[in-house]
């Protein structure tokens, strides 16, 4: 059984001109067990290194599956299991996504998502399976010790945060509306 959070490594076809890659294909994703329909694309620019965005999710009925990729620079992208009743509740996985490696992270509904930039001027795009719904917007603290994310931030560096992200609740204060579907979080392959 595959993990609900998956790293996707699209194949690049290169020649003297550069390369070509297919970033989303319904048949390919269906083989991976990813059957959502994406309806919104987002694009962010983070000017400073160690800008941290997250940890975000949308609660039902407007939950969002996400497919995240970095198209300029490098980020460390994370997903945290926030599904009630999950044996992996509060656990996280992370991966470096970069313009160079072309990897993507699929994050299903029921997982909080966030990333930190590892260099200046990072651009991140992500597909979502539902539109942004501010009344369903939620999150948990990026530095919650219960979660214990090992962010690759140098000692003494304070990440650049929005006021919203600096004031998110702790996981212990979150009453999860997400339902565990029998697929525990496992390490990324």
Q: Which residues are catalytic?
A: 56, 126
**How many other C-beta atoms lie within 10 A of the C-beta of residue 102?**
18
CB 107, CB 70: distance < 8 Å: no
Q: Compute the distance between CA of residue 138 and CA of residue 126 in angstroms, rounded to an integer.
A: 18
The conformation of residue 169, written as its DSSP 8-state character, comes to P
CB 111, CB 81: distance < 8 Å: yes
Beta-carbon contacts of 117 under 8 Å, excluding residues fewer than 6 positions away, are 46, 48, 49, 50, 51, 52, 73, 74, 75
Burial pattern 143-156, b for ≥16 Cβ within 10 A else e, equals bbeebebebebeee
């Amino acid at each position: 059984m595959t993990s609900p959070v998956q790293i996707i490594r699209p194949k690049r076809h290169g020649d003297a001109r550069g390369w070509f890659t297919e970033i989303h294909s319904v048949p390919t994703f269906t083989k991976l067990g990813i059957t959502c329909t994406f309806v919104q694309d987002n694009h962010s620019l983070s000017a400073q290194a160690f800008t941290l965005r997250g940890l975000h999710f949308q609660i039902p009925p407007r939950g969002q599956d996400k497919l995240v990729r970095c198209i300029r620079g490098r980020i460390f992208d994370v997903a945290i299991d926030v599904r009630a009743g999950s044996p992996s509740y509060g656990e996280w996985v992370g991966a470096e996504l970069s313009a160079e490696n072309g990897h993507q992270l699929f994050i299903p509904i029921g997982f909080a998502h966030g990333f930190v930039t590892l260099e200046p001027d990072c651009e991140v795009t992500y597909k979502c399976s539902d539109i942004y719904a501010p009344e369903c917007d939620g999150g948990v603290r990026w530095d919650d010790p219960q979660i214990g994310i090992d962010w690759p931030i140098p000692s003494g560096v304070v990440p650049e945060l929005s006021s919203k992200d600096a004031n998110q609740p702790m996981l212990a204060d979150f009453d999860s509306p997400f339902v565990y579907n029998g697929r525990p979080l496992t390490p990324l392959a």
